[in-house]
Structure 1
Amino acid sequence: MPHIDDHEDMETKELWRPSSPEKTQIYDFMTKVNEKHALSLKDYHALWKWSISEPAKFWEDIWHYTAIQAHKPYDEVLKCDNVMFPRPELFQGASLNFAENLLYPASAPDEDSIAVIGATEGDREFISWKELRERVRKCANALKEAGLQTGDRVAGFVGNHANTVVAMLAATSIGAFWTGVSPDTGVHAVLERLKQIKPKILFADNASLYNGKIHGSHTKVREIVADLSDLDILVVFEIAKSLDFNLDQVRPENGNVVTYHDFEATVQDQNAPLEFVSLRPDHPVYILYSSGTTGAPKPIVHGSLGTLLQHKKEHILHCDIRPGDRVFYFTTTTWMMWHWLVSGLASGATIVLYDGSPFRPFDAEGGNGEMAMPRLIDELQITHFGTSAKYLSMLEQAALNPCKHAHRPVSLKSLRAIFSTGSPLAPSTFEYIYSSIHPDIMLGSITGGTDILSLFCSGCPILPVYKGEIQCRSLGMAVSVFDYAGNDISASGEPGDLVCTVPFPAQPVMFWPPGPTGLEKYRKSYFDVFGSSVWHHGDFVRVNHQTGGVVMLGRSDGVLKPSGVRFGSAEIYNVLLKHFADEIEDSLCIGRRREGIDTDETVVLFVKLAPGNPSTLPELVTQIKAIIRKELSARHVPGIIDVCPEIPVTSNGKKVENAVKQILCGLNIKIGASVANAACLDWYRNWASEQP
């Protein structure tokens, strides 16, 4: 396989360099580390090497620099023999409360300044720190009066609005565990998750607003509640007050149903203070779920201090988020990035929540609404804007230049950073951002996962941005690249599996249910491949030894291996986006090897044609193969290229490669409800059955 550096499209090309790195918080942190430990660290890469070689010292410094608010200090940071499973205990002896750290950050913002901005396609809500604390106080006291206790589970079938943040903070102030599912999720997928954790209280929106339309949720909520036998109370947020929502029809079989207004209003002591239960560092705060694309999703339980430490490190040091900054991420409440966004409160930032379509409102002068988010950045003076790689590639395909828009251009003067995750960001999209969106921002292509509720590789405000690369491996995250045999090939520049070799606070505290079953799920998920001292994550990556950057090539379970040559599907996707943006709307690249039939793996490329595409399939296939051979190599050229009607995706918009791969390989594995458009998988089953 030729080195990827040899390809014109992936050459090492600097796109941005920070003008004043010495003014960043990470530079200040490095200076303090040097002073405290008598070191002479000169740059980020030296700091990273120190952080993974001295994890106890590093995480202790992070605790103090990011100002964790604790009721009781720790006795010992980390008993570290580098064994990651079972999970080592960090900051033993400390006690704290997650919600308190978000509601009362150490930066002590003025109580009348804005903490949360809630935006929809038409409305705006500005909530001060004082008002946010008061709303959490009322909700927390209502929850306690309803019988909620530490360790109970609270679920939300809710959108990305301020009441969701209030409910989460209220629940976690008591020590309950929060789990959120977006209202656009199908009933089966919701129940696959919630039935496993048995929530005591469910918050639900009575409707959602998307693309200019109100979508009532009564039918979904009724079906969900009917199958949750342990539910005590359903609390309904009246998102659309004019909507007819019959409460009696959604009443839990052995419980009660109430609107959120009445839930708060019926508390006996309306003046009871907001109290924060003091808890161990590993006390659970969130339950998230594995993708569930090939079976029931696994509930992953995250601890309060690990989540808080990791998010504050990422926000303050890697993103240079400061008190008063306005941080936005386009996300649903299901996605890990919602939790990452909300933690911005702990750094004293204003978080911007958006519930609706990213393409609304449509341009008054016509168009498809591509200007909606750029105009939101200007209107709300957003400093850090986060989204998916898919969204940015759609803007690229539309050739949008917001600052030179024909009818109503924007300035984007407030913007200091753009973050992208969810899938690899194509090299061409890197160049598009700097040429057409903003020439002087940090473009943070980042990667982590629901598994750690944080990042393995991230942005860095004191490093350049190179085309097609994530800037760095995150501080305290001993990210390496292993081959099949467990050899570290990071320095070689060759692609392999992303692993982590030193314990870190954001490891999950458990898999649900607690006990041997959950423990075995935990072990098999991350430590089945290389043993108890190496976290095997599942991304297929390589490290550029010249820049220290990381190139994402896809998921290792979707790695393509024709004739033994390994490469990632993202390499194919990048070429298609660069050369066929007008002809191809989306694509899916799969390796097929059927037991007893195929002696080698065949690369199969499915393309969904763009509307109005004039190309014939034979002509397009010839062009695709020629470009891939030229840009990558002859080994990369798909053996089969065919047109498909739809690309299967998760509710977060990620392509479902593995489920289709199993279908093509003839494996009879149940497809989970996390495939948002699962009906389209029938087309792939039919396709596979017709192949010789």
Structure 2
Amino acid sequence: MPHIDETMTPEVKELWRPSIPEATQIYDFMTKVNKKYELSLSDYEGLWKWSVSEPAKFWEEIWHYTHIRAHEPYKNVMESKQAMFPRPAFFEGSTLNFAENLLYPAANPDENSIAIIGATEADREFISWKELRERVRQCANALKEAGLQTGDRVAGFVGNNATTVVAMLAATSIGAFWTGVSPDTGVHAVLERLKQIQPKILFADNASLYNGKIHRSHAKVREIVSELPDLERLILIETAKSLDFDIREVRPQNGQAVTLEQFLSAVQNQAAPLQFTSLKPEHPVYILYSSGTTGAPKPIVHGSLGTLLQHKKEHLLHCEIRPGDRLFYFTTTTWMMWHWLVSGLASGATIVLYDGSPFRPFDVEGGNGEMAMPRLIDELQITHFGTSAKYLSILEQAALNPSKHQHRPVSLKTMKAIFSTGSPLAPSTFEYIYSSIHPDIMLGSITGGTDILSLFCSCCPILPVYTGEIQCRSLGMAVSVFDHAGKDISASGEPGDLVCTTPFPAQPVMFWPPGPAGLEKYRKSYFDVFGPSVWHHGDFVCLNPQTGGVVMLGRSDGVLKPSGVRFGSAEIYNILLKHFADEVEDSLCVGRRREGIDTDETVVLFVRLAPGSTTDVKELSSRIQSVIRKELSPRHVPGVIDVCPEIPVTSNGKKVENAVKQILCGLNIKIGASVANASCLEWYRNWVSENP
């Protein structure tokens, strides 16, 4: 994609257009809004403008259209549509329970139909709605007898499986706050999170299966438990049944350790019914954490109604998920997309949980595992498939065409949509999806964040898909693009900061701990730049005035500014993927400007060569610079290109640009444990000493 400046808008190609937009739920919603308010909205742009100009009316209609199950009705939809900080109240007077809305969706699916499919590299588990409710009932009653109360914290050191969902629903049915961390996370990173919130109960898997191997968690669990003095009970889930595990070695300092089976069987009143605590809309349901790549992660607390409303709006209206559809997202329990996936239950969909490598079981006949996920789609009849942009780019680099695979091709006939997030999806990957994966699906490149546990910009089943663009700004989300001075430049097509200018229910309810310290963290995180009426998200984007689509250009803190020209690292990554995929496996692009040394910023590009590559580095650098100069501009050309052994990433696979940038700029920073491969940062420190 050409660089977007004052005189240029992106050249895009239409790849997909919905065949019957009138048959969608979002069209039905628009029709009902027109009738009720005597409007004549006829397209998405008109509906979006109404949703952000009349937020109280819009969110009230979402409440009714998505059939929120409440114990007490609301008295007022929203407190204010002006200031976003402090967070305004929504739907005051109402009471509800998050878990109840997921376990008893308004769609009222047959209790014997499938609610959850749990899949690993080797096994499948099919759980009906009836069985899911029964398992939650048993677990909730056991938690109550263990003394769990509303407001307590429950943590999970657990994989993406059905037992994790049961534990979360059981905890939130009581009004406890759930926080999850994936078992592949290092002990230090786990404790950076859990020591801040001090959980009362911890669920932990005894092992995880990944890439054909069983990874025991005994040593990790023992270390974690020993550092949590307020932990009263460890509940060990025997994910791997055959492992010897002395549970006495992991007993909390002042509590008990039991297996899940022991925990459930010890309940005195085995016939006690499942009850749902009636709670205010802002009552917390989840605690998630900021990335923590350059310091301790901040615990972000999300409310029950805001999460529920936003997810149901996105699933029904933006993603066209209906009762009986099968929703999959390749995610860990740490990532916000796990929570987004689980909320699919509230729309009556079947959710598919996968725990394992995306490239297992290996394609024995073909000699690789690239077909593992396409075959899972066919086997489990998945309709909506979600993953990361990185995974899709790997398939693109491998030139995989599942329907024409030489060994056991797949049809993917049930698939209606592919969702991608985590990093910008390159324009070439858009074209690859439609040419090699499926010609007639909605490709939903989406963006939001842990901060809002939902989406700012998303897909839309009544809009076309264009190369390199997120289809639209989400309903009810007053997304604009601001320059550094706070001027709205959305209509110009110029790049700038993604902001939101109207309150929305999915704003965090607080940062932990409650009180002034947490409130100040909240303010500084989003309202330090443009004030209390403008949410500053930290993404660098532009809006295409012709299509209404959004182009992601990277993170604001990673914006490159050589000679004062601002552009995002994603523009460089897209060029490498399009032209150098066979030679460059991965890359990292950052700016270097040292205080008192450099008068201007130098763009530095690190490339990790493809395995077995014999490419001459000097010649490759010259070619990369030439292509960037031709396709972007001379000002985009990296001043330094060098080969690195590894790219630092978070546990969710996101590139850690800011830590490397600060190392290159000579800043003495503390690297957070959220950098999954933090040891590789030593190479960058050495690089600095060798390249003064």
TM-score range, shorter chain: over 0.9
Task: Give yes or no for contact 1:5–1:12 (8 Å, CA) kept in 2.
Answer: no
User: Does residue 1:630 correspond to 2:604, yes or no?
Assistant: no
Q: Distance in 1 between matches of 2:484 and 2:621?
A: 33
Correspondence 1:114-263 to 2 at 5 A: 114-263=114-263
Shift of 1:3: 5.0
Q: Name the residue aligned to 1:584.
A: 584
For the residue of structure 1 that corresponds to 2:553, the secondary structure is strand
Output the amino acid matched with 1:22: E
Q: Name the residue aligned to 2:680.
A: 680
Q: Name the residue aligned to 2:422.
A: 422
Q: Name the residue aligned to 1:508.
A: 508
Q: Structure 1 unaligned runs (5+)?
A: none
Q: Name the residue aligned to 1:281.
A: 281
Q: Distance in 1 between matches of 2:215 and 2:294?
A: 29
For the residue of structure 2 that corresponds to 1:4, the secondary structure is coil
For the residue of structure 1 that corresponds to 2:118, the secondary structure is strand
Q: Distance in 2 between matches of 1:202 and 1:123?
A: 25
What is the RMSD computed on CA atoms of the aligned residues?
A: 1.2
Task: Give yes or no for contact 1:648–1:676 (8 Å, CA) kept in 2.
Answer: yes
Correspondence 1:271-670 to 2 at 5 A: 271-670=271-670
For the residue of structure 2 that corresponds to 1:369, the secondary structure is coil
Q: Distance in 1 between matches of 2:257 and 2:669?
A: 38
Q: Distance in 2 between matches of 1:466 and 1:472?
A: 11
Task: Give yes or no for contact 1:288–1:300 (8 Å, CA) kept in 2.
Answer: yes
Shift of 1:8: 12
Q: Distance in 1 between matches of 2:81 and 2:581?
A: 50
Q: Deviations over 1:172-197 (max 9, x none)?
A: 00000000000000000000000000
Q: Name the residue aligned to 1:59.
A: 59
For the residue of structure 2 that corresponds to 1:242, the secondary structure is coil
Shift of 1:366: 3.2
Task: Give yes or no for contact 2:2–2:10 (8 Å, CA) kept in 1.
Answer: no
Q: Distance in 1 between matches of 2:157 and 2:304?
A: 22
Q: Distance in 2 between matches of 1:4 and 1:17?
A: 25
Task: Give yes or no for contact 2:497–2:540 (8 Å, CA) kept in 1.
Answer: yes
CA shift in 2, pair 1:394/1:5, >3 Å: farther
Task: Give yes or no for contact 2:6–2:492 (8 Å, CA) kept in 1.
Answer: no
Q: Deviations over 1:16-73 (max 9, x none)?
A: 0000000000000000000000000010010000000000000000000000000000
Q: Distance in 2 between matches of 1:626 and 1:6?
A: 23
Task: Give yes or no for contact 1:105–1:346 (8 Å, CA) kept in 2.
Answer: yes
Shift of 1:614: 1.9
Q: Deviations over 1:88-140 (max 9, x none)?
A: 00000000000000000001000000000000001000000000000000000
Task: Give yes or no for contact 1:7–1:631 (8 Å, CA) kept in 2.
Answer: no
For the residue of structure 2 that corresponds to 1:322, the secondary structure is coil
Q: Distance in 1 between matches of 2:367 and 2:16?
A: 31
CA shift in 2, pair 1:2/1:205, >3 Å: closer
CA shift in 2, pair 1:5/1:496, >3 Å: closer
Shift of 1:367: 2.4
CA shift in 2, pair 1:217/1:3, >3 Å: closer
Q: Deviations over 1:602-644 (max 9, x none)?
A: 0000000001112111110011000100110000000000000
Q: Distance in 2 between matches of 1:81 and 1:12?
A: 35
Task: Give yes or no for contact 1:592–1:602 (8 Å, CA) kept in 2.
Answer: yes
Q: Distance in 2 between matches of 1:368 and 1:627?
A: 32
Task: Give yes or no for contact 2:424–2:553 (8 Å, CA) kept in 1.
Answer: yes
Q: Distance in 1 between matches of 2:204 and 2:3?
A: 51
Paired residues, number? 692
Shift of 1:444: 0.1
Q: Distance in 2 between matches of 1:597 and 1:616?
A: 31
Q: Name the residue aligned to 1:84.
A: 84
User: Does residue 1:11 correspond to 2:14, yes or no?
Assistant: no
Q: Distance in 2 between matches of 1:232 and 1:609?
A: 49
TM-score (normalised: structure 2): 0.99
Output the amino acid matched with 2:391: Y
Output the amino acid matched with 1:222: R
Output the amino acid matched with 1:380: L
User: Does residue 1:98 correspond to 2:92, yes or no?
Assistant: no
CA shift in 2, pair 1:386/1:618, >3 Å: same
Task: Give yes or no for contact 1:44–1:462 (8 Å, CA) kept in 2.
Answer: yes
Q: Deviations over 1:343-401 (max 9, x none)?
A: 00000000000000000011121322000000000000000000000000000000000
Output the amino acid matched with 2:274: L
Q: Distance in 1 between matches of 2:394 and 2:246?
A: 40
Q: Distance in 2 between matches of 1:338 and 1:301?
A: 16
Task: Give yes or no for contact 2:5–2:495 (8 Å, CA) kept in 1.
Answer: no
For the residue of structure 2 that corresponds to 1:542, the secondary structure is strand
Task: Give yes or no for contact 2:3–2:571 (8 Å, CA) kept in 1.
Answer: no
Shift of 1:4: 3.1
Shift of 1:2: 7.3
Task: Give yes or no for contact 1:8–1:631 (8 Å, CA) kept in 2.
Answer: no
Output the amino acid matched with 1:338: W
Output the amino acid matched with 1:448: G
User: Does residue 1:27 correspond to 2:60, yes or no?
Assistant: no
Output the amino acid matched with 1:413: K
Task: Give yes or no for contact 1:10–1:427 (8 Å, CA) kept in 2.
Answer: no
Shift of 1:7: 12
Q: Distance in 2 between matches of 1:191 and 1:258?
A: 21
Q: Distance in 2 between matches of 1:471 and 1:186?
A: 37
Q: Distance in 1 between matches of 2:151 and 2:8?
A: 54
4+ runs deviating over 6 angstroms: 5-9
Q: Distance in 2 between matches of 1:209 and 1:2?
A: 43
Q: Distance in 1 between matches of 2:254 and 2:396?
A: 52
Shift of 1:436: 0.1
Give the fraction of aligned pairs with identical amino acids, expressed as a percent.
84
Q: Distance in 2 between matches of 1:283 and 1:85?
A: 18
Q: Distance in 1 between matches of 2:454 and 2:314?
A: 8
Q: Distance in 2 between matches of 1:503 and 1:96?
A: 21
For the residue of structure 2 that corresponds to 1:536, the secondary structure is strand
Q: Distance in 1 between matches of 2:369 and 2:428?
A: 22
TM-score (normalised: structure 1): 0.99
CA shift in 2, pair 1:268/1:159, >3 Å: same
Q: Distance in 2 between matches of 1:438 and 1:147?
A: 51
Q: Distance in 2 between matches of 1:366 and 1:29?
A: 46
Output the amino acid matched with 2:690: E
Shift of 1:245: 1.2
Q: Distance in 1 between matches of 2:2 and 2:338?
A: 39
Output the amino acid matched with 2:215: H
For the residue of structure 2 that corresponds to 1:236, the secondary structure is strand
Q: Distance in 1 between matches of 2:663 and 2:194?
A: 27
Output the amino acid matched with 1:109: P
Task: Give yes or no for contact 1:153–1:178 (8 Å, CA) kept in 2.
Answer: yes
Q: Distance in 1 between matches of 2:262 and 2:565?
A: 62
For the residue of structure 2 that corresponds to 1:577, the secondary structure is helix
Output the amino acid matched with 1:673: A
CA shift in 2, pair 1:113/1:3, >3 Å: same
Output the amino acid matched with 1:583: E
Q: Structure 2 unaligned runs (5+)?
A: none
Task: Give yes or no for contact 2:10–2:544 (8 Å, CA) kept in 1.
Answer: no
